[in-house]
Structure 1
C-alpha cells in the first residue's frame, strides 16, 4: 500500500512510455494528484514529484485520481467494493453539497456508471441513499436537540428549510415539527 520513489528501470519506462510495464506499477504525480500507467503519453513529470504504487487501489487510497488520458480511469473497484466506497463517501460528506456528479467524481467513476452499479447492488439510487442518511441524521437532531428546523436542515446538507420539511414529511409521514412535538422536545423556534 505504500508509495515508493521510482527505480531507474521504472523511471526509464515512464520516460519511454513503455507499455510492457503497464499493470506492473502505476506512477503518481504529487503536484497534480493524478496516477498514470507507465505508457501514458502525457508530459513526463519531474522525477522528484513521482511516487510509484504497485496497485491502483493503493494510489486511490493515497488520494490520487486516475488519469483520463491513459485510461487508468478505466480501472474501477469491483462493483460491491465500489458501492461500499460510495456509501462511505456519502456517509462522511452528507452535510456537504452533493450531486450525483460530485459523488461519482469523489468515487472515481462516471455518474451514469455509479447510478447503474449502485442501484443494481443496493436496489436504490445513490441519491436515494444520501436522502436516507440525511433523514436519519435529522431524526437524531430532532430527538437530541432543540435546534431550529432551518438549522437542522443546514446541518444535514439541505440549505432550504421548506424543502427539508417537505422531504421529511414524504419520508416519515409527518413534518419535522410534528415529529419533534410527539417526542416532547418542545416547540420549534
Structure 2
C-alpha cells in the first residue's frame, strides 16, 4: 500500500474541495458520528476539530468507525463508477429500442436529473449523446460489413427517423452513411 505524505491541513483542504484524486489514499473519520468517508464525499462537512484521518481502511474500521452510506468508501470502485458501468451496459443492451432518460433512470433506480448529471460528470457526455455514439458505431460496423441498405441499418440501430439518423451520423463520423460505406470499402 502506498501512503501519501500530506499534513492534516492539506487533507482537510482535499475534503473541503471534494477532491476525487485522493479517494482510496486516505479516509476522513468523524468522531461525533463514528462515520468515515472518501475525500470526495459530498455529505455535509464536519467541524474540523471532530475529524481524524486514516490511511488504511482496516485501521479506520478497527478504530470503530462505520462506512458512509453515501460515498461507500469500503467499496474499491466508487459507486459512481459502478453506476456508470450499469448505465453503459443498459445502453449497449437496449440501443435498438426507443429510449428516453426516464427509461434509463427507472432501470437504474434514481432520478433522471441526478443520473444525467453524474453520467455527464464521469463520461463527458449525457446518456442521450452516449447512446447516439453507440448507435452510430453499430451503424458504421453494419455499413462496413453488410449489404443492408441505409434505411435498414437506420431502423436496426434504433433510429425512428432517417433524417435524424443521417444528421447524427454526419455529426459523429463527418460523412453521410453512403460516403462512409464507399470510403470503408475502398480501404
Q: Considering the TM-score relative to the shorter chain, is it more than 0.5? A: yes
User: In which range does the TM-score fall when normalised by the shorter chain?
Assistant: 0.5 to 0.7
Q: Say if 2:115 is the partner of 1:110.
A: no
Q: Which runs of 5+ in 2 are unaligned?
A: 1-69, 73-77
Distance 1:170 1:82 in 2: 28
Q: Confirm or deny: 8 A CA contact 1:150 1:160 kept in the other structure.
A: no
Q: Confirm or deny: 8 A CA contact 1:165 1:176 kept in the other structure.
A: yes
Q: Say if 2:162 is the partner of 1:161.
A: yes
User: 1:178 offset after TM fit, Å?
Assistant: 0.6
Q: Which runs of 5+ in 1 are unaligned?
A: 1-73
Q: Say if 2:155 is the partner of 1:139.
A: no
TM-score if structure 2 supplies the norm length?
Answer: 0.56
Aligned residue pairs total 111
Residues 26-70 of structure 1 show CA distances to partners (whole Å, capped at 9, x for unaligned) of xxxxxxxxxxxxxxxxxxxxxxxxxxxxxxxxxxxxxxxxxxxxx
Q: CA RMSD in A?
A: 2.0
Distance 1:118 1:82 in 2: 8
User: 1:184 offset after TM fit, Å?
Assistant: 2.7
**What residue number does 2:151 align with?**
150
- Segments ≥4 residues shifted beyond 4 Å: none
**What residue number does 2:3 align with?**
none
User: 1:183 offset after TM fit, Å?
Assistant: 2.3
Distance 1:114 1:78 in 2: 12
Distance 1:123 1:171 in 2: 15
TM-score if structure 1 supplies the norm length?
Answer: 0.55
Other structure's SS at 1:183 match:
helix
Distance 2:146 2:98 in 1: 23
User: 1:150 offset after TM fit, Å?
Assistant: 1.0
